[in-house]
Amino acid sequence: MRIILLTRKPELYSHRRLIEAARMRGHEIEVVDTLRVYVNISSKKPAVRYRGRDLEGFDAVIPRIGASITAFGTAVLRQFEVMGVYPLNESVAISRSRDKLRSLQLMSRKGIGLPVTCFAHKTGQAGDIINQVGGAPVVIKVLEGTQGIGVVLGETENAAKSMIQAFGGLNADILVQEFIKEARGEDIRALVIGNRVVAAMKRTGAEGDFRSNLHRGGQAVQIKITPEERATAVKAAKVLGLNVAGVDMLRSNRGPVVMEVNSSPGLEGIEKATGKDIAGMIIQFLEKNARANRTKTRGRG
């Protein structure tokens, strides 16, 4: 099988592991810098060009598209889909997952457990927004933020009001969410491949930080999740159309609630916490599923 790894940073742990796993299983894998690709849009012979040549004859593409280049990266991926190349995750699904509001709306429609959330831009009703999500403390997120950046905790009503008003002054779209106190600063990352959870870890934030992101000093350990948590993770990935996803959940008094679904989940934390060969499982998924023109959307949507 011939595979393209679409990424700007092949040196990252996740990407090195995917390259290693593909080659160990006898596949050819080429690293392509997403931003150095250009596209020939033609009804007769559509093409993706890279370093002066057509990228053709490939069976699958693994998109590892950074959040800052989602629009361009998904456009490139869409062209591969038009050409019939099988994507690990489709462009439409990646776009859904990167839009925090859209992903929450899609999951809400399917009855997936979520934190109570308000979406706002510039409003003089900060107090009402806080009341709508159950009162302080509340979590306030900038809609475009990633990896814990642009996420703050309004511990008191006055502090939360000030933060909401400040974001309004910056012309930022925000999400205001209930704070799940019983989670005690811990969350669960469930790694979904296909129709099952293949690994799960519990992440705990650094002392004094309610965010549990590992690159911000959080710690991770392997965890056995409940059947309800497993089903929630698989359903969340399926609703967004993702074949591979990192589903972040909190344990609340009313069951698991999904905080975010990541379409390019990092492999280092979960491989080291669980000892599992996640990269190998991803390549195995491609072996079983990569077929020409097998995409659901063929670049539509």
Q: Give the tens place of pLDDT for each residue, 19-43.
A: 999 999 999 999 999 999 999 987 7
| 149 or 85, greater pLDDT | 85
One-letter amino acid for residue 279 of the chain:
A
pLDDT of residue 215: 53
Check pLDDT > 60 for residue 301: no
Confidence of residue 206 (pLDDT cuts 50, 70, 90): low
Provide CATH code, domain 117-179: 3.30.1490.20
CA–CA separation, 75 vs 38, rounded Å?
A: 10
Going by their DSSP bridges, the two strands 186-193 and 196-204 should be labelled as antiparallel
Going by their DSSP bridges, the two strands 28-32 and 37-40 should be labelled as unpaired
CA–CA separation, 300 vs 298, rounded Å?
A: 6
CATH architecture of 2-95+285-289: 3-Layer(aba) Sandwich (3.40)
Question: Alpha helices, DSSP H only, in 241-289?
Answer: 268-274, 278-289
Show Cβ contacts of residue 184 under 8 Å, excluding neighbours closer than 6 positions.
none
Check pLDDT > 90 for residue 205: no
Rounding to the nearest 10 degrees, give the CA dihedral for residues 214, 217, 223, 229.
Answer: -60
Check pLDDT > 90 for residue 64: yes
- The pLDDT tens digits of the residues spanning 161-192 come to 999 988 888 888 899 999 999 998 899 999 99
| 140 or 295, greater pLDDT | 140
Q: Is there a contact between 239 and 220 (Cβ–Cβ < 8 Å)?
A: no
Q: Within 10 A of 83 (CB to CB), how many other CB atoms are there?
A: 20
Neighbouring C-alpha atoms within 13 Å toward the C-beta of 51: 7
Nearest to 166 by CA among 102, 128, 122, 133: 122
Output the pTM of the full model: 0.90
Nearest to 2 by CA among 54, 83, 56, 40: 56
Which DSSP helix (H) or strand (E) runs through 198?
strand 196-204
Domains in the chain: boundaries: 2-95+285-289, 117-179, 182-275
- The pLDDT tens digits of the residues spanning 110-162 come to 999 999 999 998 777 899 999 999 999 999 988 775 555 678 999 999 999 99
Check pLDDT > 60 for residue 300: no
Question: Alpha helices, DSSP H only, in 149-297?
Answer: 157-169, 227-240, 268-274, 278-289
Q: What value does the mean pLDDT of the chain take?
A: 91
What integer is the mean pLDDT of 202-208?
Answer: 77
The CATH fold of domain 182-275: D-amino Acid Aminotransferase; Chain A, domain 1 (3.30.470)
Confidence of residue 207 (pLDDT cuts 50, 70, 90): low
pLDDT of residue 299: 47
Show Cβ contacts of residue 197 under 8 Å, excluding neighbours closer than 6 positions.
190, 191, 225, 230, 233, 234
**Crossing angle (nearest 10°) for helices 91-98 and 70-82:** 160
**Crossing angle (nearest 10°) for helices 278-289 and 13-24:** 50
pLDDT of residue 252: 96
